[in-house]
Amino acid sequence: MIDTGQITIALAGNPNVGKSTIFNALTGSHQHVGNWPGKTVERKDGIAHIGDRVITVVDLPGTYSLNAYSSEEVIARDFIIHEHPQLVVAVADEANLERNLYLAIQILELEVPVILVLNMADMAHKRGVEIALDRLAERLGIPVIETVGGQSTGIQRLQETLLQFTDHTRPTTPVRIDYGPDLNSALDTLQTEIEKHESLSRVYPPRWLAIKLLENDEDLSARLIESGHQSLLEHARQISEQIADQVGDDTETLITDRRYSFISQILGGVLKRPTQTLETRSDQADRFVTHPIWGVPIFLVMVWLIFQFTANVSAPFLDWINGVISGPLTRWALALLGVVGLQDSWVEGLVVDGVIAGVGGVLVFVPVLFFLYLAVALLEDTGYMARSAFVMDRVMRMIGLHGKSFLPLMVGFGCTVPAIYATRTLEDENDRKLTAFLTPFMSCGARLPVYVVFGTAFFGAKSGNLIFAMYLIGIAVALLTGLALKRTVYRHKSPQPFMLELPPYRVPNMVNVLRQVKGRIKDFLRNATTIILASTIVIWFMLALPAGKDKGRFNEVQANNSIFGSLSQGIAPVFQPAGFGSWESAGSLITGFVAKEAVVGTMNLIYVNETASAADGESGTRFTEDMREIISTFGEASVLTVQETANIVPRTANLIPGVHLPEGDWLNQSEDTVNTSSLETALTVAFAHTAGSDTRGKLAAVAFNIFVLLYVPCMTTVAAMRHEFGARWMALQIAYTLALSWIAAVIVYQGGLLLGLA
C-alpha cells in the first residue's frame, strides 16, 4: 500500500459503475494493486496530485450496500469506519440512480463527508435520463458532479470539489433519513444508549450503529458480543420485536423499505426518464411475440425457419464437402499410401474405407450443424430464446412444469448433456428430475446428420419436412411423457410462477454469434476426431475380422460374416416389425449409443465402398484437375446456398393452402437431379430390399428415424443422468427410451402399412 501520510479519500460504488475509470482519471499511472489484508479481494491504491495536494485514493470493492452480506461489503465499511478517510466519493451509474443511491445514503449514514459522482452520464443522456443536479445536491446536502470517467469529462470539477473538501472550505449538511415515527423513536433510544458506551461511540457513529442493530447486522452483533455488549444487543432485539408486533413487519425490512422510499422522495422532480422507457419497443413487440395464443404459432414458425436453414440452405455445401472427401481427398490418400508402399494392404482399407469413410462421412455435416448453431445463436442473441420460456409456459404447465423448464429443453436441441445440467436452474427437485427425463427427446445436433441422410435419400428436396417433423415429434413425445408422468409418478403441486428479466430485442452481434458457432462446431470436430475416429477404427476391425475360421480371412471377409455383422445379426430380428430388420441398420444403432454421429459413420463403413469409387480415378496424376474441381464446385455450392436462402420465402409461403410460389432454380437443377451421395443411394436400395418395396422402404426409413430420435441417448448423456440423479434414474431412462423408441417405430411402420401408405 502507498502511504504518503497525506490526505486519504475512498472511492465507493456499485459494481460496474465505472469506478475504475474515475480512479484512473484521478491517479493516472500512480497506482498500486494488491489484496486487502487476509482477503482475496483486490485493493487498488493510487496517488492523485491535485493542485499542491498529494491525495491517496483508495478504490473500495464494488458493493450494492454496506450491510456486511459479503466480504466486499465488510471491507468497504470497515475501511470507512476504521481508516477514517477524509472523504468518500460515491460513484453512481447515472442511468440507474435509484438503485445506486441506496449505497450512497448508507455511506451518508456513516457521517463521513461525501461527494456524489454521477458517472457514465453520456450513456444516461443517450437513454434520455435527465437529472437536475443542483436540486439533487440541495436535497442530499452534498456536492453532486456529473462525469464520464472514460473521457475524463467532469474530472476537473471533481478535482476542484475535492480540494474544497480537503481545504475545509466547503461546508455540507448531509440529509438524514426520516425512518418514520416508530423507527425514529427506537433509533433515538438506542443512540442514547450507545452514546453512553464510550468504547462504542468512539469507533462507530452512534446513530449508524443503532440502525445496524435494528437491521440485525450479524457482523456487528458478533463484534459487540466479543466486546461484551450483549445487553445492548438484547435491548435492540426487544425493540425490534416490539416494532415488528406493532407494524407487522421486521425492522430490517422496514428500514430497507424506507430507504427506498426516501430515494423515491429525493428523486421526485429531480430525475426525469423518457416516458417510452415505461413501455419499451421490446415490451410492445412482446405483447405479440409472447402472446398466450399467437406466441406458440410464432415459436413454431421460428423452428420451421431454423430447419429450413439447416436442411436446405446447408445442402449445397454438404454435397460439396462430400464430393471433396469421397473424391479428391480419397484419391490423394490412396496416392500417398501407394508412395509409401501400402497400396492394396489392409492399412489402405483402414484409412480409406475406415477413417475417411467413417469420420469423413460425419464431417460432411459441418455445414448442417453450422446453420443449426447459427440459427440457435441468433435466437439467443436477439433475445428470442428467453421468450420461449414465456411462450411455452402454458404448454409446460399442462405437464406440471413451468416455462422455465423449457429452457433446458431448448438447450437440448444443441446437446443433451448441458441440457441435463441446465435443469439445476430449476427450484423444485421434482421439476428437475422430470425436465431432465424429457431432455433426450429434444433432438440434439448429433442426430441431425441421420435425418439429413435419410431425408435426402428418401425425400429429396423435401428433406426439410422430415427434419422438421422429427423435431416436432421429439417435442410432442416429451410433452406426452411429461403428461403421463404427471398423472402417475409425479403428482406434485403446480410449479411456482417466476419473474424473468427479458433482455431487450436487439440486432445480433455477429462477432458474438460466430464465436459461439465456432465453439460448438469445434466441439463437434473434436468429437469427430476422437470418439468417432476411435469407434470407426474399432468397427472397421470388427468388420474386417471374420466371425469364424470358415467365414473368410482378415480384411477379405464379407461384412455380414464379420464379427460386427454377426453381432448385429443377433439383434436385427428385434427391428423386423419396424421394417428395418437388417443387420446393417441394427449395427448402426448399436454404435449410436457411443455417439449419435456414429450412426452415419457406421453406415458409411457398411454401405459404401469408397475405395472402389475413388480408385476409378487415376490417383496421383490429377492433382491440378482435382483442385480445379474443388474450386469450381465450391463456387457452385455458394450460388446454390444463396438460392436456397431465397427459396425459404416461397417454401414457407407454400405451406399456406392455395399458395404456389415458384422456387428459384438458378443453375437449372430440378428436383429430379438432386445430388445424392453414394450412402444415400445405398440406403434407398437397402431399405427397399429389407422392407420389400420402395414405398415400404420409405416407411421403414421414417420408422428408423423415429427410433434414432427416441432411443437411448449417447453414453455421455447417460453418464450425466447418473451423475445428477443416480443409477436408478439412469436405468429407468434407458429402459423407457428403448421401449418407447421400439414401440413408436413399430407403430409408425405397421400403422403406415395398415393405412395403405405402402
Partner 1 sequence: MTTTLRQVLSAFETTKTPRTLNQLARDLGIPLNMLEGMLDYWVRKGKLRESKDGVACGTCGGVQGCPFAPKLPHSYELVTDDSPPEECSHKGCGCR
Distance of CA 89 to the CA centre of its chain: 37
Binder among 385, 438, 543, 572 for partner 1 (CB under 8 A): 385
Write 252-259 long-range contacts (CB < 8 A, 24+).
Answer: 252/214, 252/215, 252/216, 254/179, 254/180, 254/183, 255/179, 255/183, 255/211, 255/214, 255/215, 256/215, 258/177, 258/178, 258/179, 258/180, 258/183, 259/102, 259/105, 259/106, 259/177
Residue ranges in 218-257 that form contacts with partner 1 under rule CB under 8 A: 247, 249, 252-254, 256-257
Binder among 105, 214, 426, 475 for partner 1 (CB under 8 A): 426
Instruction: Give the residue with the Cβ less far from partner 1, 205 or 503.
Output: 503
Instruction: Give the residue with the Cβ less far from partner 1, 409 or 461.
Output: 409
Question: Site for partner 1 (CB under 8 A): how many residues?
Answer: 72
Q: Does 407 bind partner 1 (CB under 8 A)?
A: yes
Single out the segment in contact with partner 1 by CB under 8 A; choices: 24-32, 119-127, 492-500, 601-609.
Answer: 492-500
Distance CA 226, CA 169 (A): 40
Q: Does 369 bind partner 1 (CB under 8 A)?
A: no
CB of 449 to partner 1, least distance (A): 17
Cβ neighbors of 207 (< 8 A, separation 6 or more) are 109, 111, 187, 191
Q: Does 500 bind partner 1 (CB under 8 A)?
A: yes
CB of 715 to partner 1, least distance (A): 12
Q: Strand 114-119 relative to strand 87-93: parallel, antiparallel, unpaired?
A: parallel
Instruction: Give the residue with the Cβ less far from partner 1, 220 or 417.
Output: 417
CB of 471 to partner 1, least distance (A): 17
Q: Does 478 bind partner 1 (CB under 8 A)?
A: no
User: What is the distance in angstroms between the CA of the first residue and the CA of the last residue of the chain?
Assistant: 83
Binder among 98, 122, 629, 636 for partner 1 (CB under 8 A): 98
Residue ranges in 724-753 that form contacts with partner 1 under rule CB under 8 A: none
Instruction: Give the residue with the Cβ less far from partner 1, 314 or 439.
Output: 439
DSSP run (H or E) holding 485: helix 463-487
Alpha helices in 325-365 (DSSP H): 330-339, 346-348, 357-363
Distance CA 399, CA 379 (A): 25
Cβ neighbors of 208 (< 8 A, separation 6 or more) are 109, 110, 111
CB of 730 to partner 1, least distance (A): 14
Alpha helices in 345-442 (DSSP H): 346-348, 357-363, 366-382, 384-391, 393-398, 406-411, 416-422, 429-438
Q: Does 386 bind partner 1 (CB under 8 A)?
A: yes
Q: Does 411 bind partner 1 (CB under 8 A)?
A: yes
Binder among 55, 105, 369, 389 for partner 1 (CB under 8 A): 389
Name residue 587's amino acid: G
Instruction: Give the residue with the Cβ less far from partner 1, 130 or 429.
Output: 429
Eight-state DSSP code of residue 651 = H
Q: Does 503 bind partner 1 (CB under 8 A)?
A: yes
List the one residue out of 146, 108, 93, 116 whose CA is nearest residue 259. 108
Burial letters 395-422, b for 16+ CB under 10 A, else e: bbeebbbbbbbbbbbbbbbbbbbebbbb
Residue ranges in 266-305 that form contacts with partner 1 under rule CB under 8 A: 273, 278-280, 283, 286
Residue ranges in 517-546 that form contacts with partner 1 under rule CB under 8 A: 519-520, 522-523
Instruction: Give the residue with the Cβ less far from partner 1, 320 or 413.
Output: 413
Residue the block writes with cell 450479524: 218
Single out the segment in contact with partner 1 by CB under 8 A; choices: 344-352, 398-406, 634-642, 661-669.
Answer: 398-406
CA torsion sign for 508, 514, 519, 525 is positive
Collapsed DSSP state (helix, strand, coil) of residue 225: helix
Q: At what angle are helices 678-691 and 597-607 packed, to 10 degrees?
A: 80
List the one residue out of 240, 706, 197 whose CA is nearest residue 474. 706
Single out the segment in contact with partner 1 by CB under 8 A; choices: 116-124, 298-306, 512-520, 608-616.
Answer: 512-520
Binder among 293, 340, 499, 754 for partner 1 (CB under 8 A): 499
Instruction: Give the residue with the Cβ less far from partner 1, 720 or 746.
Output: 720
Instruction: Give the residue with the Cβ less far from partner 1, 389 or 605.
Output: 389
Q: Does 72 bind partner 1 (CB under 8 A)?
A: no
Distances from the Cα of 413 to the Cα of 295, 311, 441, 714, angstroms? 20, 15, 9, 14
CB of 641 to partner 1, least distance (A): 24
Instruction: Give the residue with the Cβ less far from partner 1, 353 or 431.
Output: 431
Residue ranges in 661-720 that form contacts with partner 1 under rule CB under 8 A: 716, 720
Q: Does 363 bind partner 1 (CB under 8 A)?
A: no
Distance CA 728, CA 734 (A): 10
Q: Does 58 bind partner 1 (CB under 8 A)?
A: no
Q: Strand 271-272 relative to strand 7-13: parallel, antiparallel, unpaired?
A: unpaired
Instruction: Give the residue with the Cβ less far from partner 1, 315 or 426.
Output: 426
Binder among 403, 464, 581, 752 for partner 1 (CB under 8 A): 403
DSSP string, 186-212: HHHHHHHHHHH-HHHHTTS-HHHHHHH
Instruction: Give the residue with the Cβ less far from partner 1, 313 or 721.
Output: 721
Q: Does 723 bind partner 1 (CB under 8 A)?
A: yes
Instruction: Give the residue with the Cβ less far from partner 1, 181 or 658.
Output: 181
Binder among 502, 615, 743, 753 for partner 1 (CB under 8 A): 502
Binder among 75, 263, 375, 532 for partner 1 (CB under 8 A): 263
Instruction: Give the residue with the Cβ less far from partner 1, 232 or 417.
Output: 417
Distances from the Cα of 580 to the Cα of 167, 599, 674, 726, 743, angstroms? 90, 14, 25, 34, 13
Instruction: Give the residue with the Cβ less far from partner 1, 38 or 248.
Output: 248
DSSP run (H or E) holding 29: none
